[in-house]
Amino acid sequence: MFDSSIWKTIGGSKNFCAYKLTTDTEPPLCKNPYNVTGLCDEFSCPLSNSKYATLREINGGIFLFVKEPERVNSPINMYEKIELSSDYNIALEEIEEHLKYWDTKVVHKCKQRLTKLTQYLRRLEIIKKSERNIYSVRNKKIVRRDKSRAMKALNKIDFETDIKNELIMRAETGIFGENIQENIKNKIKKKVEKVKNKAKKKYVTDFVESESDCEEENLPKNVKPKKKNSIKW
């Protein structure tokens, strides 16, 4: 009763399930990693069956997962994880031993999945030995975002002024030695004065603008503010 009620709510082509993958073929496919056949039907559904068995490949090893009705209420301990032998014939015997009193159809599907997984692992070994190019998925949105961030960072940096300031600072501290020419010293002094004057001029203009803004705010609405001659540098 419990299994059939779950299948009625999530099973079939009309009902919704997060693992269902609708295609042109019937029945639709299932994306659940515990599905033994990969099909969305009542027999293969791992959610609607309280007694279930399947095989999975984890880090190059094949494991048998067995679900019993007694462990359905605890999702962490729902599946019993059993590692199978790397030898194909021994793994078949282990499946028959662990699923001794199970339905023959379930045992047959687990054996079919074992053959598919062993073939998959062998193909992986061949690909690794052949030294082929490994292709990975590239997210275009992330690449575009990183490029735009890098371009913005480069535009903000002014390399010439940073290098000039660094050289001036080193010359003032005497890193280049005492034998530096007088012409270079004079040039450095002039540049230092220019930098200081620019900072002062910016501060004065900002201060004048802020005073004018405050006076305009204090005036009544009918009175128009007088035009002041702003200092131009």
Tell me the per-residue pLDDT of 33-57, one tens digit each, with 9 for 90 and over. 999 999 988 899 999 888 999 999 9
Arithmetic mean of pLDDT, 148-164: 84
Residue 7, pLDDT score: 85
- Tokens found for residue 55: 């095989």
Contact (CB, 8 A) for 48 and 7: yes
* Percent of the residues in the chain that have a pLDDT greater than 70, as a whole number: 74
Q: What is the pLDDT of residue 25?
A: 77
Q: Check if the beta carbon of residue 39 is closer than 8 Å to that of residue 32.
A: no
How far is it, in rounded angstroms, from Cα 28 to Cα 44?
12
Could you give the domains of the chain? 2-130 (3.30.390.110), 140-215 (no CATH)
Spatial distance between the Cα atoms of 108 and 171, rounded to a whole number of angstroms: 84
Amino acid identity, position 111: K
pLDDT digits (tens, 9 = 90+) for 90-143: 999 999 999 998 999 999 999 999 999 999 999 989 888 887 777 888 899 999
- Average pLDDT of the residues in 202-227: 51
Mean pLDDT of the chain: 79
Among 9-13, 45-49, 197-201, 209-213, the range of highest mean pLDDT: 45-49
Q: Classify each residue of 30-49 as buried b or exposed e, where b means 16 or more C-beta atoms within 10 Å of its C-beta.
A: bebebbbbeebbeebbbbbb
Instruction: Quote the CA–CA distance of 143 and 224 in Å, as a whole number.
Output: 54
Give the contacts of 162 (CB within 8 A, at least 6 positions apart).
none
Closest CA to 46 of 57, 56, 33: 33
For residue range 158-194, list pLDDT tens digits in order: 777 778 778 777 777 766 666 665 666 666 667 667 7
Helix, coil or strand: residue 22: coil
Rounded CA separation 223/205 (Å)? 25
Query: What is the structure's pLDDT at 153?
Result: 87
Instruction: Strands of 68-165 (E only): list them.
Output: 79-83
Q: What is the pTM of this model?
A: 0.56
